[in-house]
Amino acid sequence: MAREELEGEWTQGWPDRKRARLMPSKDADGRTIYARTPILELEGLITPTDAYYIIAQLNMPEPIHPDDYVFSVTGMVDRPLKLTLKDLQLLPSRTVRVVTECAGDDGEFFGWQKNGGKKPSRLKKQAEAGGWNQMVPDGKKPEVAELLNTIPTTCLVSGGEWTGVPLSEVLKKAGVKAGAVSVHLVGFDKGRPDPTAQYLSSGRTDIEIFDPGIINYDKALELEKALHPDTILAWAHNGEHLQHVHGAPLRLVVPGWSGNWWVKWIEEIELLDYTPDCYYQTHYFVLADTPESTDRKPCKALGCKSIITYPIDEDSPMEPGAHAVRGLAWSGGGAITRVEVSLDDGESWREAYVEEHQDKWLWKRWSFVWEVHKPGHYKIMARAYDEIGRIQPTQPWNFQQKHFDGIVPVDVEIR
Ligand SMILES: Nc1nc2c(c(=O)[nH]1)N[C@H]1C(S)=C(S)[C@@H](COP(=O)(O)O)O[C@H]1N2
Ligand SMILES: [Mo]
């Protein structure tokens, strides 16, 4: 193994190991609008905020000073409200530790699972300084094929701690009228969806992409999930005030459901007696066989999933001896109960050691001590079980390649 670099200042006491860094993509003004978490390089359960993945589907909005911030609660309520952060902080607060996973995380594996060919890499890194910029309107914008070739997998997932107030407390204060079925959350970011994102996620450029024009980012959360005590309006992240890129002054946290439900930069919360046609709900984050399918379901709860973070294919060849095979497991249905490992291409499965903790929405770290002495090729796999009885994988193929939770073997050679 290569000797790791140290960095830092002697004034802090001693130089540290080099820290894992975000892999950013920038807009025309040089602002980060997408960033990928270097998940393989992290330890523990909580992803440091400066390594937490970032997605702005439209544009990065102008910041609002937290002291000037007001959001409204409207629609089918007894008492329409205008609330500041200070008003919100008068209500009972709650802190939840949760995995955020973008619906598109690991999507690259769907095509490989379906059609075979070269397995996408978990390691692949986009070019360092400069990188590729998905949103540059005039400069060199990479081709879709080029983008697909540079994007590493498993980088749109992070684990974090969020502090705020349950959405249900705000709804209680406003008084929800009978007949309301959805909570329409509107962000103050505006823009026109870039069709490249759809070409990327569907892996096809021959499809017609619906153009909604200029829109605000919005979602319509069904009332039942909105009333779940762990669904919160958060102003803090990982022990600090929420950062602008993550949705400050206020964002939604929807434990178990894919990241696109976690509306950032909240401007309005509107109670409705129908489900409105939100672009990122009915057109983009959908599960369907083909782009032509009329039966499209919105992406909601994440599946039951584990990934192997060590070793990866690129660690091959490895020395004989003892290796700690390790990884992470999480589920959109609640706590992970077991993880099993196979070292023989899925012939037999053995129980992995799973670290216990009490945060049902947060991932668990797992490991398996692999004693290997025979040289040769090995296919290592892991599969997770969750508390609602699901076994990985749970998500079938879908053309937008969302919610991937398939079992991806690691191929290594023991010398
Ligand atoms: N207002 C707004 N909220 C948003 C988005 C957005 O573009 N605008 N992106 C969504 C998507 S697709 C994801 S995966 C998460 C990412 O949250 P993060 O950037 O804090 O990691 O935010 C969601 N909330
Ligand atoms: Mo996402």
pLDDT digits (tens, 9 = 90+) for 243-279: 999 999 999 999 999 999 999 999 999 999 999 999 9
When pLDDT is averaged across residues 63-71 and rounded to a whole number, the result is 97
pLDDT greater than 50 at residue 127: no
Among 23, 218, 262, the mutation site with the greatest number of ligand 1 atoms within 8 A of its Cβ is 262
Q: Check whether residue 277 and residue 243 sit in a common domain.
A: yes
Q: Which ligand is nearest to the CA of 34?
A: 1
Identify the weakest region by mean pLDDT among 6-10, 383-387, 397-401.
6-10
Q: Indicate which residue's Cα is closest to atom 2 of ligand 1.
A: 264
Q: Which residues pair with 386 in a beta bridge?
A: 336
* Average confidence (pLDDT) over 62-84: 97
Assess whether 357 and 283 both reside in one domain: no
Q: What's 19's DSSP letter?
A: P
Cβ neighbours, 10 Å, residue 265: 25
Buried/exposed code over 166-198 (b: 16+ C-beta within 10 A; e: otherwise) = bbbbbbebbebeeebebbbbbbbbebebbebbb
Question: What is the Å distance from ligand 2's center to 280 Cα?
Answer: 10
Residues 179 and 84 in one domain: yes
Judge if 158 and 112 occupy the same domain.
yes
Q: What is the pLDDT of residues 185-244, one digit of tens each?
A: 999 999 999 888 788 777 778 888 889 999 999 999 999 999 999 999 999 999 999 999
Cβ of 160 less than 6 Å from ligand 1? no
pLDDT of 18 over the 90 cut: no
pLDDT category, 133, cuts 50, 70, 90?
low
Of 275, 298, 321, the last residue of a domain is 298
Nearest ligand 1 atom to the CA of 247 is 20
From the CA atom positions of the chain, what is the Rg in Å? 22
Same domain for 93 and 181, yes or no, is yes
What is the average pLDDT score of the chain?
A: 91
CATH code of the domain covering residue 202 = 3.90.420.10
pLDDT of residue 139: 55
pLDDT of residue 361: 98
When pLDDT is cut at 50, 70 and 90, the band that residue 128 belongs to is very low
Report the C-alpha gap between 111 and 97 in whole angstroms.
32
Residue 291 in domain: yes
**pLDDT band at residue 129 using 50, 70 and 90 as cut-offs:** very low
Residue 234 Cα distances to 27, 94, 172, 201, 248, angstroms: 26, 9, 17, 29, 9
What are the strands, taking DSSP E only, across 13-116? Answer: 16-17, 23-26, 32-36, 54-55, 71-75, 81-83, 94-101
Asked if residue 337 is part of any domain, the answer here is yes
The range of the structural domain enclosing residue 357 comes to: 304-414
| Ligand 1 atom 10 nearest Cα | 260
**How many angstroms separate the Cα of 376 from the Cα of each of 118, 206, 324, 379?**
20, 43, 18, 10
193/323 same-domain check = no
Q: 394: pLDDT confidence band, cut at 50, 70 and 90? A: very high
202 SS3 class:
helix
Residue-level pLDDT at 170 = 98
Residues 191 and 86 grouped into a single domain: yes
Q: In terms of domains, do 188 and 323 share one?
A: no
For residues 52-75, average pLDDT: 96
What are 187-196's pLDDT values in tens digits? 999 999 988 8
Flag whether 171 is in a domain.
yes
- C-beta of residue 400 within 8 angstroms of C-beta of residue 111: no
Provide the pLDDT for residue 134: 55
- Tell me: the pLDDT tens digits for 95-106? 999 999 999 999
Stretch 52-81: mean pLDDT: 96
Q: Are residues 256 and 353 in the same domain?
A: no
Instruction: Please count the other Cβ atoms lying within 10 Å of the Cβ belonging to residue 108.
Output: 23
Q: Are residues 294 and 308 in the same domain?
A: no
- 41 within some domain: no
| Distance in Å, CA 259 to ligand 2 centroid | 5
Domain end residue (candidates: 270, 298, 326): 298
Q: Is residue 131 part of a domain?
A: yes
Query: Quick one: CA dihedral 292, 294, 300, 305, positive or negative?
Result: negative
Q: Are 268 and 186 in contact (CB under 8 A)?
A: yes
- Yes or no: say if 268 and 216 are a contact pair by the CB < 8 Å rule: no
409 domain residue, yes or no: yes
Omega before residue 317 within 30° of 0, cis: yes
Which of 38-42, 88-92, 135-139 bottoms out in mean pLDDT, i.e. has the lowest? 135-139
pLDDT for 126 equals: 47
Residue 330: pLDDT over 80 = yes
Count of other CB atoms within 10 angstroms of residue 84: 14
- Nearest protein CA to atom 12 of ligand 1, as residue: 260
What does the DSSP assignment read for 339-399? EEEESBTTSS-EEPEE---S-TTS-EEEEEEEEE-S-EEEEEEEEEEETTS-BS--PPP-T
Of 124 and 335, which is predicted with more confidence?
Answer: 335
Calculate what percentage of the chain has a pLDDT beyond 70: 93
Alpha helices in 185-285 (DSSP H): 195-202, 223-226
The arithmetic mean of pLDDT across residues 284-312, rounded, is 94
Residue where one domain finishes, among candidates 298, 323, 346: 298
Q: Report which bound ligand comes closest to the CA of 263.
A: 1
**CATH code: domain of residue 362:** 2.60.40.650
Ligand 1 pocket check for 263: Cβ under 6 Å: yes
Q: What pLDDT does 191 receive?
A: 95
Q: Give the ligand with the smallest distance to the CA of 403.
A: 2
In a domain, 328, yes or no: yes
Cβ neighbors of 163 (< 8 A, separation 6 or more) are 93, 94, 95, 232, 234, 235, 236, 237
Determine, yes or no, domain membership for 407.
yes
Q: How many distinct structural domains can be found in the chain? A: 2
Q: Which of 6-20, 82-96, 167-181 has the lowest mean pLDDT?
A: 6-20
**Which residue has tokens 């702005």?**
56
In a shared domain, residues 264 and 325? no
State in Å: Cα 191 to ligand 2 middle: 16
Distance in Å, CA 319 to ligand 2 centroid: 38
Quick check: 254 and 231 in contact, CB under 8 A? yes
102 lines ligand 1 (CB under 6 A): yes
Same domain, 155 and 222: yes
